[in-house]
Amino acid sequence: MSDVLLILPVFLLSVLLTGGVRAYALRTQMLAVPNARSSHAQATPVGGGLALVLAYAAALCLLILQGRLPLPESLALATSLPVALIGFVDDRRELGYRVRLAVQAAVVLIALLLLGRVPALPIGSVVLGSVLLTFLLAPLSLLWLTNLYNFMDGIDGLAGSETAFVSLAAAGMLLAAGDRALALPCLFLFAGSVGFLVWNWPTARIFMGDVGSGFVGMSLGLIALLSHYHGSMSLWSWFLLLAVFVVDATVTLLRRTLRGQRWSQAHRQHAYQHMAVGQNGHKNVSLGVLGLNLLYLLPLAIAAGKHPEYGVYFGVLGVIPLVLLALYSGAGREAGRR
């Protein structure tokens, strides 16, 4: 069976598994209870991201059994699984950001030790060296992507549809480049996220939870990094595919930091949270982000892949409108409830 044909059984299993997790969460009271900083109005089960975790784990098992990747690379991709585990524990009981961050940092360290030095990255006429990338920029980027994905998982359908878009677009670009091994976990993440969306699309009957959001951010970051090692997909393409989440989270964090607010404190100050206020707001924002991804950022990502020497310019072209939109929408100030 070809990799693409595996999407259907993974999707069906994801639908069934998410429904099972929802039943378990209701039975054990694993619920997100609305508070002053919530964007939802009623207690809702969490932990639905477990379907994505198992879909990704199945892909890694296939990679290892079939020997498609060297074992150190497969193990590096598997380091996101402890992030899922600590996220599930956090969904059950609040652990605090220090514990989660410590696990994430350990995961990043292990992954980079397994992979070795990160290849240099050209930025226009400047080249970011291997040492700078390996010991500073790559670790910080992986940690930020993991946490910002968690920050952006705040309304119905958004994180799931973003995962579906990014993973499918990346799978297509990796397949076009002949990197079928890295395309496989992307395809499985796509199928898992669509199955999850059956339950999460507005009005959501279950949330992704920390078990899914941080895990997806770390997993996509690790796949992106490994594709850079392979030379099969430009990091600029990955940046553009993830740009909506990166820009909203970064602009919000910077504005909060400048006002002296703690980055780790829960809040409702993201641009997407402002835009989601009102009837059908969650659905409209999720559809709007999906449209922006497909019509604007995807063509730029493809262009950056074909012409990586101009990747930084495509990146700037993609980011500027998103920054303006985030500022216009009030990223960094308190939002109202729906």
Q: Which two tokens stand for residue 6?
A: 């595996």
In a domain, 81, yes or no: yes
Distance separating alpha carbons of residues 23 and 68, to the nearest angstrom: 37
Distance separating alpha carbons of residues 190 and 114, to the nearest angstrom: 26
* Average per-residue pLDDT for the chain: 92
In a domain, 307, yes or no: no
Of 127, 150, 326, 185, which is closest to residue 243 (Cα–Cα)? Answer: 326
Question: pTM value?
Answer: 0.95
Full domain range(s) for residue 95: 4-234
* The residue type at 78: A
Q: How many domains does the chain have?
A: 1
Residue 335: the pLDDT is 53
Q: Mark out the alpha helices in 67-129 (DSSP H runs).
A: 71-78, 81-92, 97-115
pLDDT in tens, 62-109: 999 999 999 999 999 999 999 999 999 999 888 888 999 999 999 999
Q: CA 177 → CA 172, 181, 259, distances in Å?
A: 9, 11, 45
In a domain, 24, yes or no: yes
pLDDT in tens, 103-160: 999 999 999 999 999 999 988 788 999 999 999 999 999 999 999 999 999 899 999 9
* Phi/psi-derived region of residue 245, left when phi > 0, alpha when psi is between -120 and 50, beta in every other case: alpha
In a domain, 244, yes or no: no
DSSP 8-state secondary structure symbol assigned to residue 119: P
The helix (run of H) or strand (run of E) holding residue 271 is helix 271-275
In a domain, 197, yes or no: yes
CB 311 within 8 A of CB 182: no
In a domain, 162, yes or no: yes
Ranges of residues in the chain with a pLDDT under 70 are: 1, 35-38, 41, 279, 335-338
In a domain, 92, yes or no: yes
In a domain, 302, yes or no: no
